[in-house]
Amino acid sequence: MHGKLNYLDFEIARQKSLDLVNQTTFKEIIPISDAIGRVLSKDVICVKNLPAFNNSAMDGFAIKFSDAGKTLSINKVIFAGDKGEKVEPTLKENECYKIMTGAKVPFDADTIIPIENCFDVTQNSVKIPIEIKKGSNLRLKGEEQKEGSVILKKGEKITSSFITLLASQGLIKIEVYKKISIAVLSTGNEIKEPWEYADDEEIYNCNSYALISLLKEKDFDATYCGVIPDNLEESKTYIKDLKNYDVIISTGGISMGDADFVGEAFLQNGLEVAFHGVNIKPGRPIMMGKMQNTVVICLPGNPLTAMVNIYLFALPMLKKLQGETSINHGFIKAINQKEFKTKAGRVNVVLGKVQNGEFFVTRDNKYGSGMITVLYESNSILVTNEQTSNINQNQEIKLLEFNGKFFEENIDILN
Ligand SMILES: Nc1nc2c(c(=O)[nH]1)N[C@H]1C(S)=C(S)[C@@H](COP(=O)(O)OP(=O)(O)OC[C@H]3O[C@@H](n4cnc5c(N)ncnc54)[C@H](O)[C@@H]3O)O[C@H]1N2
Ligand code: MOO
């Protein structure tokens, strides 16, 4: 672990991280009221046509299109919820129905005219305008979704708009993938928990809480498993007890320091390293691999680095493991507002704030990976390719927002 790190190409590292996992096979059935953020483990098939019957989109009159311009007698009034005899076709010559929004339209009417577009409306009759469109305001049975069609796809993450569709089908339970289990650890003798006393030489553990919160924002549950002391033997035992988790995420102790033996402790527990070291700033020492069935993600200790790296490298892989199909970062386009420099020869991650399509780089891109406040000051990142040394003012750029969307397509996010 102490040899010079071989810095892997960014895209190769991203691909290797994805290759480490296959989607979980464990499923469960849960109520739709608890389903937000969960991933569908099978397609949802339409069992009830949408709409279920021909119905009116407006309060008004249901007529035959050929009666445009005529004065018609009102045959009957139909309300939403009327059924059976009340909605049987009963039109005679020069007649129409008065009808309410959502009410079933009998088969002998083909067009709905909103009441405010009609003339001389009385209890018994109405004059229909001459300029009308056949079929207007008539919502046809199955025009939105037909029985048997796929309405929601396996691998999609459930949002509130999914719930509307599920409830429209009379579904109250749904099959989803079980949540993957994630252990989060910190390392380092200098680390104190926020509720402990920390003297001037000690620092508070921010990484674990920050990572668990970021994972929560992305609909993952993570368990905090404590601080591993800077001691190889104790680390080995500690890690051995975590093999029941699907994923272990640690921060710190993976660079070149004499106390950086977290990697060694994982290795001695059977870790097969996929890569250790990526040509990116921040995040050069990042390491990923697999320890039997457990995916191991070792993030560098600097809080800024840990957060940016979990976002860039870990989220796509965790999404894949969770069974999601949209696992790739999507970008938004913006215009850079102030020129800044980046270092050619490596991939650079640049923090900034995007607002209404304008990007404001954080602190002129002059900050250290050990800083914490800069994360708070930013809402997005720009990722350069290895050739880029400058981002000009007014240059169109691609940005990943911290709360950005993920897509099935793998698109080029580099600038
Ligand atoms: N000789 C070299 N030194 C370093 C290299 C290198 O290539 N050669 N890489 C540097 C880079 S880049 C990074 S990033 C850091 C990462 O090192 P580690 O992953 O070993 O992290 P630590 O040394 O344990 O900690 C770094 C920094 O972060 C603080 N830290 C750690 N854990 C937490 C926590 N849970 N909450 C808050 N802060 C934490 C820690 O106190 C250190 O200040 O290595 C460079 N060195
Ligand atoms: O990964 Mo380090 O944060 O580049 O300094």
What are the boundaries of each domain within the chain? 10-26+179-321, 27-49+144-177, 55-139, 328-407
CATH, domain range 328-407? 2.40.340.10
pLDDT at position 270 is 96
CA of 230 to the centre of ligand 1 (A): 13
Query: Architecture of 10-26+179-321 per CATH?
Result: 3-Layer(aba) Sandwich (3.40)
pLDDT at position 259 is 59
**In this predicted model, what pLDDT tens digit does every residue of 75-119 receive, in sequence order?**
999 999 999 999 999 999 999 999 999 999 999 999 999 999 999
Q: Which ligand has the shortest distance to the CA of 372?
A: 1
This prediction's pTM? 0.91
Between CA 385 and CA 272 the distance in angstroms is: 28
CA distances from 220 to 35, 135, 157, 180, 246 (A): 13, 48, 12, 8, 12
Mutate to test the pocket of ligand 1, among 186, 224, 255, 276 (most ligand atoms within 8 A of CB): 255
Query: Over 60: is that where the pLDDT of 1 sits?
Result: no
Query: Over 80: is that where the pLDDT of 230 sits?
Result: no
Q: Whose CA is nearest to atom 4 of ligand 2?
A: 282
Question: Is 191 near ligand 1, meaning CB less than 6 Å away?
Answer: yes
Pocket of ligand 2 from Cβ distances under 6 Å: 281-284, 300, 302, 305, 369
Question: Is 260 near ligand 1, meaning CB less than 6 Å away?
Answer: yes
CA of 129 to the centre of ligand 2 (A): 72
Query: Architecture of 55-139 per CATH?
Result: Beta Complex (2.170)
Burial class of 249 by CB neighbour count within 10 A (0 to 12, 13 to 18, 19+): buried
Mean pLDDT, residues 336-353: 97
Mutate to test the pocket of ligand 1, among 4, 7, 230, 302 (most ligand atoms within 8 A of CB): 302
Give the right CATH number for 27-49+144-177 from 3.90.105.10, 3.90.1150.10, 3.90.1640.10, 3.40.50.1370. 3.90.105.10
Sign of torsion over alpha carbons 12, 252, 254, 318: negative
ipTM beyond 0.90?
yes
Query: Over 80: is that where the pLDDT of 261 sits?
Result: no
**In this predicted model, what pLDDT tens digit does every residue of 172-183 receive, in sequence order?**
999 999 999 999
pLDDT at position 374 is 96
CA of 212 to the centre of ligand 1 (A): 19
**In this predicted model, what pLDDT tens digit does every residue of 366-397 receive, in sequence order?**
999 889 999 999 999 999 999 999 999 999 99
Judge whether 27-49+144-177 and 55-139 match in fold. no
CA of 253 to the centre of ligand 1 (A): 7
Cβ atoms of 109 and 135 within 8 Å: the answer is: no
